[in-house]
Structure 1
Amino acid sequence: MSSDADAIRNWWHTSIIDMEPGRIAFRGHPIETLIGKISFPQMIWLMTAGRLPSSEEAVLLEAALVAGVDHGPQAPSIAAARMTATCGVGLNNAMATGVNMLGDVHGGAGEQCAELYYDIAARMDAGDALEAAVETGLDAWRAVNGKIVSGFGHRFHKPVDPRAPRLMALVREAAQAGTVDGQFAEIGEAVQANLSLRKPIAMNIDGATAVIFCELGFAAPLSRGLFCLSRSVGILAHAWEQMEQGGRNKGPMPPSYFPKYDDT
């Protein structure tokens, strides 16, 4: 029977960090061997995936993180962080408010798109050709999620989301160099082609970053977590800018405007 000390030690168990007074190691790497030696994207990879990536893999991850940092105050997460910053709280509170806005509708498209890509890849592994796997995969997606396919189309950026082509070009370069195999780039482009049969529709940033996260082997739920890391940079910047600008209790619209009252 375990002693009380063992029960306490075993309450949490982790392979991420080994820490005791005077020693810190992440995934078996002493912290002093990492500081100044690896990049922040490499550290993110080590912590989430359990190994150090190659510099080429880290460059591709970094590109996805850079592309998603901000989309302006019209994005609910950014607007919420700016409003929070006028309420007399700290930067951490404003950042937490913004990150907590990143849900299934605003912030979850990358995870959803990655799930679609992985489903299509599984159908290909089972013997379907690319086009057939895309068709049946999209049918299955729509049966559960409706007609909107996450990762494609954009309410502002028409006909092209300027971030997606650049990211896809980097994936193609990485595939040519052997850093990734390019399967999910082909899947993403095939989904876009299928969706464009009726009306042209472009891949957006969520579709492109999902390609990258899948190419690099990250599980679909991590796509959302990695996006949250990326967008938290923009949330921080906007919250800090709002603090510098000042303002008190700023709401979602100027005080001279009032919501429409429905007289029922």
Structure 2
Amino acid sequence: MTAPDHPDASAVSAWWGTAITYIEPGVIEHRGVPVADLIGRTGFAEMIWFMVTGERCEPPRARLLEAALVAATDHGPQAPSIAVARMAATCGVGLNNAMASAVNTLGDVHGGAGEQCLALYDALLARADAGDDLAAAAREVVAEVRSQGRYVPGFGHRFHPRDPRRDPLLALVEQARDDGTVPGRHLAAALAIEDALAEGRARPVPMNIDGATAVIYGELGCPPPLARGLFVLSRSVGILAHAWEESQSGRRNKGPMPPSILPARLSPDA
């Protein structure tokens, strides 16, 4: 049977059927709400939640989401994704190319710790729900991760003795827990792991940005993979900022090291 030259419009609509957005001439609706009713009335963090989940994010919960998004926007050019954005911006490509190049470096090693940490919190809470003592279960979880030769995702930092984003984020979660905005279970799980990591050590191993934002995403009900997606969305802001700044520098073909430290035979000035 030969396919028709003009496919039925309803078949096309069904093929790409979605509950997210509906359009027709003169009409744009997101999750059933006219876009005109969202513009100027819905914050960006609320809009992210609404589009992704289909649920309204009440202001107290939206403040937590926004705090997590703000906290993870950037960590400077020593972060591989940011360095890639800056190098790409000097190669004659547009901002979209520089941003895509950078985002594509965000994987399990660089950018995936938040998802991994939230999965760890969920596993710990599942043990607690099954009747295990939370502190004892945290020790077991930490021991299991270490026995596999892995680090505990979301804790410790290669640069900061204590990540400066930890305390303000957790303070917001504590306040939201006390206000009844969130249950506080993921916060309890995170602190139990932090305590377990500190046992027998002269120096503690505090939560980093991935561990703290995983607490917020867990409290808001995000599944672990969505936590990574939200991190990528957040870090894209820093990627854009660095790509734009570098694009204004006039530098061409910027490499990972300054020419001054390269051997003379490799220096572009040689």
Q: Taking structure 1 as the reference length, what is the TM-score of the superposition?
A: 0.92
Q: Deviations over 1:224-258 (max 9, x none)?
A: 11011111111111111111112000000012434
Q: Deviations over 1:28-58 (max 9, x none)?
A: 1111111000100000000111111100100
Superposition misfits of 4+ residues, deviation over 6 angstroms: none
- Structure 1 position 141, deviation (Å): 3.7
Q: Deviations over 1:135-175 (max 9, x none)?
A: 3333444456x3301100000001x1010011000000011
Q: Rg: which structure is higher? A: 2
1:31 to 27, 32, 35: 35
**Native 8 Å contact 1:49 1:218 kept in 2:** no
Give unpaired runs (5+ residues) of structure 1: 260-264
1:114-129 alignment runs, 5 A limit: 114-129=118-133
C-alpha distance in 1, partners of 2:56/2:235? 23
C-alpha distance in 2, partners of 1:112/1:58? 23
Give unpaired runs (5+ residues) of structure 2: 264-270
2:155 to 152, 156, 164: 152
**Native 8 Å contact 1:107 1:224 kept in 2:** yes
Q: Which residue of 2 aligns with 1:77?
A: 81
**Native 8 Å contact 2:142 2:196 kept in 1:** no
C-alpha distance in 2, partners of 1:164/1:96? 28
| 1:253 paired to 2:267 | no
Q: Which residue of 2 aligns with 1:67?
A: 71
C-alpha distance in 1, partners of 2:79/2:208? 15
2:115 to 105, 108, 111: 111
- Structure 1 position 123, deviation (Å): 1.2
C-alpha distance in 2, partners of 1:46/1:141? 35
Percentage of matched positions with identical amino acids: 58
Q: Deviations over 1:79-124 (max 9, x none)?
A: 0000000001111111111111111111100000000001111111
C-alpha distance in 1, partners of 2:145/2:48? 30
AA aligned opposite 1:68: A
Q: Which residue of 2 aligns with 1:223?
A: 227
C-alpha distance in 1, partners of 2:31/2:147? 41
**Native 8 Å contact 1:81 1:98 kept in 2:** yes
Q: Which residue of 2 aligns with 1:12?
A: 16
**Native 8 Å contact 1:81 1:235 kept in 2:** yes
**Native 8 Å contact 1:102 1:228 kept in 2:** yes
Q: Secondary structure at the match of 1:156?
A: coil
C-alpha distance in 2, partners of 1:218/1:202? 23
Q: Which residue of 1 aligns with 2:170?
A: 168
Q: Which residue of 2 aligns with 1:236?
A: 240
Q: Secondary structure at the match of 2:248?
A: helix
**Native 8 Å contact 2:145 2:151 kept in 1:** no
Q: Deviations over 1:53-91 (max 9, x none)?
A: 100100000000000011001110000000000001111
C-alpha distance in 2, partners of 1:28/1:184? 32
AA aligned opposite 2:116: Q
**Native 8 Å contact 2:142 2:197 kept in 1:** no
1:97 to 93, 96, 101: 101
Q: Deviations over 1:163-209 (max 9, x none)?
A: 00110000000111111011111110110000111321111010000
Q: 1:182 to 1:8 in 2, by over 3 A?
A: same
AA aligned opposite 2:151: I
**Native 8 Å contact 1:116 1:141 kept in 2:** no
